[in-house]
Amino acid sequence: MYRKAYKCTNAKPETVWSNASRLMADEKIQQRIEELRVPVIRKIKLTLESHLATLAELRDAAREKEQYSAAISAEVSRGRAAGFYVERVEMKNLSPEQREARVLKLLKTAKQRKQEQQRESA
């Protein structure tokens, strides 16, 4: 994202990463991202609670039909959505640009989950 917004053809990957990280840590930028994200979530009426409930229904339906693989998959999906699983990412074979994009995506996902949990507990 950072490379799309700023000219950095001559910048070192470390510099780009550092600048992107600094921007993502900025409170105003985080607020703006959240402002843009909230209407989309409201429009589709998706909450963590409703998502987990749907996955639980799918799990139960699969269990009733003795489709245990599908039931386990639905339960694992519920755990991921709830943040119970830590995603491990292998980055050895990625270019610096791919690493940067991956880390930014992971940071964004983590912040979104935290904010969703805070909204739901409020």
Helix (H, G, I), strand (E, B) or coil at 83: coil
Is the per-residue pLDDT at 41 higher than 80? no
pLDDT at residue 121 greater than cutoff 70: no
Sign of CA dihedral 122, 108, 75, 85: negative
Average confidence (pLDDT) over 21-25: 82
Structure tokens at 72: 């386990």
Number of domains in the chain: 1
In a domain? residue 70: yes
35 part of a folded domain: yes
pTM of the model: 0.37
Note the pLDDT of residue 66.
92
Average pLDDT value for the chain: 80
Distance (Å, whole) CA 71 – CA 57: 10
Q: Distances from the Cα of 80 to the Cαs of 26, 84, 96, 97, in angstroms? A: 27, 6, 27, 26
Domain residues for 40? 12-116
Residue 90 lies in a domain: yes
31 found inside a domain: yes
Distance CA 76, CA 69 (A): 11
> Is residue 4 one of the residues assigned to a domain?
no
Q: What is the mean pLDDT of residues 17-38?
A: 82
